[in-house]
Amino acid sequence: MKPTRRLRELLAGDDILVSPGVFDGYSVRLVEKMGFKTACTTGAGLANSRMGVPDVGIMGLTDNLDACRMIARSVSIPVMADADTGYGNPVTVYHTARWFEETGVAGINIEDQVSPKRCGHMAGKDVIDMREMARKIEAACTARRDDDFVILARTDAIAVEGLEGAIRRAKLYAKAGADMIFADAIGGEDQIRALVEACPVPVSVNMGFGIRSRPTTPLLPIRRLAELGVRRVTLPRMLPAAALMAMENAMRLLQQSLESGEAMDRPDLLYGIDDIWELMGQPEIKRMETHYNDLDGVDVQD
């Protein structure tokens, strides 16, 4: 089954869809290994990890496409991609949507921020005219060759126009063809309920695990989000934050080893090499090598 069709089926199912944010081959393969049915790329995670810069619109379209192509091909579960603002006007978005579809991802997010955009948890965001965003959504929907390719419209209007402005935009974006709505920095249960009740299409909510200061959206149990009618929850910050913490702990272990002059092994903190090989598919490579190196098994008789 194509990833796009699988994602549509999951969105139409009874259970809320939990989509951890991924930023490389390790993270997306781990999400699949742990039994999650879908994943999403984190734009901030890609910009941070690939380019070493904040999520302020520096990462370009080609960098994003290259990363998403490698991530999507690494797993069998559907992956949605963060396409930022679509990298330009509606005509640009048309090509952006088509190129993302060609990477093998199952859908994209497009947001209504002014470019250069900012991470959703940063201050100083601004949004474009809602009519221009509606045209961007229309262009993305027209561009897709596969009708199952999901177009998610993200609005950052809550920080600028309040909840009413965000709901007004969400309705217009759905009318323009968006398959799903995500209102970033939504303020809690009451606002989530209001958005779900107002939207004619499924609503996605972001839970910002890994933010030590008070998150813009209060953390809620995923079960509670399902009770509020949310169809999809993304966790874009969890895996990048966990990876950074683990790497820092490993570096501290190395520092201690240098100071003490002793070799230190902490298998409770470090993935074993056999575990890494298993995660990355090394056993299958070994089976292929065994088969294709078996020259005696080739029948050369006429």
Q: Rounded to an integer, what distance in angstroms lies between the CA atom of residue 154 and that of residue 166?
A: 10
Q: Options 1.10.1060.10, 3.30.300.30, 3.20.20.60, 3.40.50.620; which CATH number does 3-237 get?
A: 3.20.20.60
pLDDT tens-digit readout, 32-82:
999 999 999 999 999 999 999 998 889 999 999 999 999 999 999 999 999
137-146, 211-220, 268-277: which is most confident: 137-146
Q: Rounded to an integer, what distance in angstroms lies between the CA atom of residue 255 and that of residue 264?
A: 10
pLDDT at 214 over 80: no
Mean residue pLDDT of the chain comes to 93
Instruction: Give the residue extent of every domain in the chain.
Output: 3-237, 244-293
- 17-22 and 232-235 strand pairing: parallel
The confidence score (pLDDT) of residue 55 equals: 85
pLDDT at 16 over 60: yes
**What are the residue ranges of helices labelled H in 176-237?**
189-198, 222-227
pLDDT at 120 over 80: no
Residue 18 to residues 124, 132, 211, 220: CA-CA distances in angstroms? 29, 30, 19, 13
Percent of the chain having pLDDT more than 90?
A: 84
Contact 284, 74 (CB under 8 A): no
pLDDT at 117 over 90: no
Percent of the chain having pLDDT more than 70?
A: 95
pLDDT tens-digit readout, 255-287:
999 999 988 888 888 899 999 999 999 999 999
Contact 48, 56 (CB under 8 A): no
Per-residue pLDDT band for 301 (boundaries 50, 70, 90) equals confident
Q: Rounded to an integer, what distance in angstroms lies between the CA atom of residue 219 and that of residue 138?
A: 33
The confidence score (pLDDT) of residue 124 equals: 61
Other CB atoms closer than 10 Å to residue 283's CB: what's the count? 11
Q: Rounded to an integer, what distance in angstroms lies between the CA atom of residue 233 and that of residue 222?
A: 7
Amino acid at 239: L
Per-residue pLDDT band for 297 (boundaries 50, 70, 90) equals confident
Q: Model's pTM, two decimal places?
A: 0.93
**230 CA to centre of own chain:** 17
The DSSP output letter for 47 is I
Other CB atoms closer than 10 Å to residue 44's CB: what's the count? 23
pLDDT at 231 over 80: yes
Q: Read off the pLDDT of each residue in 82-89 and give the average, rounded to a whole number.
A: 96
